[in-house]
Amino acid sequence: MMVKKSEKSMLMEMVFNLILPVVVLNKGGAYLGDEGPFWALMIALALPFGYAIYDYRLYQKVNIFSVLGLLNVLLTGGLALMETEGIWFAVKEAAMPLAIGLFVLFTAFTHKPLVKTLIFNDALLNMDKITQSIEEKKLEAQIEKLFRKSTVYLAGSFFLSATLNYALARMIFVEIPREVSKNERANLINEQIAQMNWMSYIVILVPSLIVTGTLMWWFFKRLTQLTGFGFQEIMRENLQ
């Protein structure tokens, strides 16, 4: 039986994917013995990993964002364990949104642009009414152009995220002096990872949400102009 996500589960996601890992990375090393920084890193990485498994078992489906989060966790852990510094963390932080952006851009030139796949369906829209209007007004070419243009803009939001990720990571992941002991080095890397985790939510997530929200507003405004229906008319009744 499938369970719908609640506000409580969204809060749990925030706790296990952001808050607890940041706290453990910043403070855990001091309480875990001689290898404290190492175990703090392991615990911080295990928290989102464990929550992703729990989420899958509870909701009976793979969440693409959980998969991307797990991949990010594994890459971060790998770089930290190899004691990599500076530029490589910045490259890693930029690589994921860049890869997603390239994939989204690629779909814009296929017969299924991503925006069309995500939005143009019965779960969200009154497809009978919209399809009838498109056929009557012969809007097929204009609608397809809208899907492609919207998908290109969506890809642009990921490219913006990649740029912001890289810039923020270059500020945070500074090189650590070689004379610093192995334990201190690991502690400093953990602190840098923790700082990146919480700052990215403010510096990267907020602008990305603004860009994506603006894109959705523009898309629906254009769709209502083409079909001649109001926003409330094109949405499914159970979503109004």
Tens digits of residue pLDDT in 32-60: 666 667 787 788 778 877 887 887 787 77
Question: So what's the pLDDT on residue 3?
Answer: 46
Task: Provide the CB-side half-sphere exposure for 69 (13 A, CA).
Answer: 21
Per the prediction, the chain carries an average pLDDT of 81
Query: How confident is the model over 179-201, as pLDDT tens digits?
Result: 878 778 878 888 888 888 788 87
- What is d(CA 126, CA 146) in angstroms, rounded to the nearest whole number? 18
Burial class (CB in 10 A: 0-12, 13-18, 19+), 238: exposed
Q: Which of 42-51, 143-152, 217-226 has the lowest mean pLDDT?
A: 42-51
Predicted confidence at residue 234, as pLDDT, reads: 84
pLDDT of residue 237: 67
Sign of the Cα torsion 123, 66, 100, 22 reads positive
By CB neighbour count within 10 A (0-12 exposed, 13-18 middle, 19+ buried), where does 18 fall? Answer: middle
Longest CA–CA span in the chain (Å) reads 74
Q: Encode pLDDT of 14-28 as tens digits.
A: 677 767 777 777 666
More confident residue, 10 or 187: 187
Q: Based on the number of CB atoms within 10 Å of its own CB, is 108 exposed (0-12), middle (13-18) or buried (19 or more)?
A: buried
At 227, give phi and psi (nearest 5°). Answer: -80, -25
Please tell me the predicted confidence (pLDDT) of residue 55: 76
Residue 15 identity: V
**1 pLDDT higher than 50:** no
Cα–Cα distance, 211 to 207 (Å, whole number): 6
Question: Considering the chain, what percentage of its residues have pLDDT values greater than 70?
Answer: 82
Give residues with Cβ within 8 angstroms of 188, minimum separation 6. 176, 180
CA atoms of 108 and 138, how far apart (whole Å): 21
Q: What is the CA radius of gyration of the chain?
A: 22
Residues 152-165 have pLDDT tens digits of 999 999 999 999 99
DSSP secondary structure string, 49-80? HHHHHHHHHHHSS--HHHHHHHHHHHHHHHHH
What's the CA gap between 129 and 107, in Å, rounded?
A: 26
Q: Mean pLDDT across the stretch 210-228?
A: 91
Q: What tens digit of pLDDT does each residue of 72-111 get?
A: 767 777 777 777 767 888 888 888 889 889 999 999 999 8
